[in-house]
Amino acid sequence: MGTDLKEKVYEILESRSRELPSGVFISRALLFLILVNVIAAVLETDNLIFHTYGSTLDIIALFSVLVFTVEYILRVWCCTQNPLYQSPVSGRLRYMVTPVALIDLFVILPFFCLPFVVHRGVTSVIRFLRIFWILKIGHYTQTLGTFSRVFRAKREEIFVAFFVMLLLLVIGSTLIFFAENEAQPTKFSSVLASMWWGIETMATIGYGDMVPVTPIGKVIAGFVALVGIALFALPAGILASGFIDEYSKNRKQAEVSQKVCPHCGKEIEGMQEKKEP
């Protein structure tokens, strides 16, 4: 009985929960609870809202901490259903040090310290930490998993893109330093200080606090701005290409699975063709 219950809980909480109506309901309910707490954490920073609805926000926080604590305990309890963590003791310890389990623990652990905290500022910081509960959504949706696979597949291209951006930043900041240092020694005082101008220019923010005034400085600024726009678009294009590849691969896998009999593993279309005269 206990094993059956543990298996049922595991199926609901883990990846197979998407195949169970109860698992889908619980995943959506926990996602909604995370969203409510993120909004509540933001609203609490407004003193008027906090003083008016403080008790309601406290109830929401207490209820949510209890729910996610129970969820964490259940995940540790039923993780032995996973072949990787079959051992009752060492298996659970290995699961508890996995990134997802550590996130589950660290997002709730600070709230158990609240009764021992007397400084109001520390209490406010701990309460605001609820915004990091959004890191838990990897349990309830495949979106983060898809993003992780895309990032791993395109990590080399992304690294090259950011390396070229860093190279442009260093070269552009060095050139603008030598072009503007004599005319504006307080603003372009060093290459390091000029890097702030480089970031502003490459990102097309243009706060106006550091503007070149020499002719050669303006030429350098125009070149850095034009190249920076092109380079900033590279990572977005690489990730977009990765998402297209990932969704195409998932679609092909779904099509193949529909053509294969789940019981015998044979292709359904092939079986039908053999029966035709």
pLDDT string in tens for the chain (277-residue length): 556 788 888 888 875 445 677 878 888 888 899 999 889 888 888 888 888 888 898 899 899 999 999 999 999 998 888 888 888 889 899 999 988 888 888 888 888 888 887 777 788 888 888 888 887 877 776 666 677 788 888 888 889 888 999 999 999 999 999 999 999 999 899 999 999 999 888 887 877 788 999 999 999 999 998 888 888 788 888 888 888 887 788 777 666 655 655 445 555 554 444 444 4
In a domain, residue 221? The reply is yes
CA atoms in the 13 A half-sphere facing the CB of 58: 8
Number of domains making up the chain: 2
Could you give the C-alpha distances from 111 to 84, 107, 217, in angstroms and in order?
30, 8, 53
Structure tokens at 188: 């372009």
Is there a single domain that holds both residue 7 and residue 131? yes
Q: Are 80 and 132 within one domain?
A: yes
In angstroms, the CA 72 to CA 102 distance is: 10
Single pTM value for the model: 0.65
Nearest to 132 by CA among 97, 98, 103: 103
Which domain covers residue 22, as residue numbers? 2-141
Euclidean distance between CA atoms 148 and 135, whole angstroms: 13
pLDDT score of 275: 45
Q: What is the dihedral of CA 64, 69, 75, 80, to 10 degrees?
A: -170
Asked if the structure places residue 277 within a domain, the reply is: no
Q: Do 60 and 83 fall within a single domain?
A: yes
167-172 CB contacts, 8 Å cutoff, 24+ apart = 168/198, 168/202, 168/224, 168/227, 168/228, 168/231, 169/195, 169/198, 169/199, 169/202, 170/195, 172/198, 172/201, 172/202, 172/220, 172/223, 172/224, 172/228
- Within a domain: residue 146? no
The tokens describing 228, both together, are 């920076």
User: Are 22 and 70 within one domain?
Assistant: yes
148 part of a folded domain: no
Q: Is 173 within the bounds of a domain? A: yes
Phi, psi of 260 (to 5 degrees): -105, 135
Residues 47 and 95 in one domain: yes
74 and 169 in a common domain: no
Q: What is the largest CA-CA distance in the chain?
A: 90
pLDDT at 277: 45
Q: What is the pLDDT of residue 1?
A: 52
